[in-house]
A and B are shown apart, each in its own frame.
Chain A
């Protein structure tokens, strides 16, 4: 089964992530290497969320293909 990763072209962006502190969940801003398939205000896909089906969906979009804005952002892991 193929697995995927981000290339060095993907930059870190400030996003909200969950952090558990004792029995509470708080949200903190952190720099995370990620892409925004649905716009910056509607979630992000970081490398740990990059399943095979998500990666193949992203690669099917024109912006991730040859000549697209995000060409070379997602690579198959060797």
Chain B
């Protein structure tokens, strides 16, 4: 595929910085917003253990076994995905990029194009894979969720949840939100909170619903839970605080946001969605984390002068101990 370039043949100077599109940084990876499990080539087992114990009256005779030891294994095999693009640098010959091409008809490689444009392509990959980690659904999951009858009970898929999965274009793997809704062939065990459209006016009341639903033992645990929310909530929270009469309901310290002591993390989540979970319960599974940023650039074939840029990685979004996490969707 040729480079799509609305170019002007360069005769004078070029404004040096190439104005790049503004992208969200992949803070999910860069700032460790969730847990990571790398070196996962195939069939890694995640084991969850829950036990029940029963106090009973002492007897010196034969005791009765009571309680249960529950162990549940889930095997995870990350999906192998790739980004691939072909381009022909011959189209750059009359443009600003010719300035650092060496003389000679064979020399049509521009280091400015490589560092600026292909570098930006790499940032686009990072932004896209982060978005899909949080928000995506496979065709199979879409079909399965569409076949369910929505209901208000915890064991039923919610109307908002079913609408969300139906709205997605089919992707390579299920994202975090979808995994909370449906996984291992059944509705997820998340704590479901039916939501509504969140605005700067009602955001406090809606966050209160999520906070109230967090299990007390999660708030008291040694790993503190987090609120994962859409990017737009940063603005909604700031507007809410500005309009608040006596005190800020949301605490803001520098770039850190908190609601009732729970830190808020802004992610590429759908609107009107809030996840309350411990960060170690959401796992980015991959073979090698740095695969996200590794790109191979080479000629398509030895006898050609056009190039390809290719990125390969494996990825899977796994959620652990779902019964301890809250999914609000409206």
Contacts and interface: CB of A to CB of B under 8 A. Distances in A.
Main secondary structure of the interface of A (DSSP, over half): mixed
Interface string A42-64: 11110001010110111011110
A12 interface: no
B167 interface: yes
Interface string B43-79: 0000000000000000000000000000000000000
Nearest to A27: B169
Nearest to A57: B159
B132 to A, nearest CB: 11
B114 to A, nearest CB: 27
A57 B197 CA distance: 12
B28 interface: no
A38 B273 contact: yes
Contact of B160 (A43, A49, A57): A57
B230 A39 contact: yes
Contacts of A17: 169
A29 B170 CA distance: 14
B166 interface: yes
Contacts of A49: 166-167
A75 interface: no
Contacts of A51: 146, 166
Interface string B226-250: 0000101000000000000000000
Nearest to A49: B166
A66 B151 CA distance: 25
B273 A18 contact: no
B270 interface: yes
A57 B271 CA distance: 15
A38 B159 contact: no
Interface residues of A, number: 26
Interface centre among A16, A18, A41, A49 (most CB of B within 10 A): A41
A33 to B, nearest CB: 14
Contact of A41 (B150, B162, B164, B268): B268
A35 B315 CA distance: 30
Given A54-B162, A56-B159, A62-B196, A38 B169 contact: no
Contacts of B135: 42-43
Contacts of A61: 196-197, 330
Contacts of A57: 150, 159-160, 162-163
Contact of A58 (B146, B163, B170, B230): B163
Contact of B166 (A15, A27, A45, A56): A45
B167 A42 contact: yes
Contact of B270 (A18, A38, A56, A60): A38
Contacts of B168: 42-43
Nearest to A15: B169
A42 B271 contact: yes
Nearest to A16: B169
Interface in B111-158: 131, 135, 146, 149-150
6 contacts: A27-B169, A38-B272, A39-B230, A44-B167, A49-B167, A57-B160
Interface of B: 131, 135, 146, 149-150, 159-160, 162-164, 166-170, 196-197, 230, 232, 268-273, 330
List the 7 closest A-B pairs by CB distance, nearest first.
A43-B167, A38-B270, A42-B270, A57-B159, A39-B271, A43-B168, A54-B163
Given A39-B271, A49-B166, 17 more contacts: A17-B169, A18-B169, A37-B271, A38-B273, A39-B270, A42-B168, A43-B167, A45-B166, A49-B167, A53-B159, A53-B163, A54-B163, A57-B160, A57-B163, A61-B330, A62-B196, A62-B197
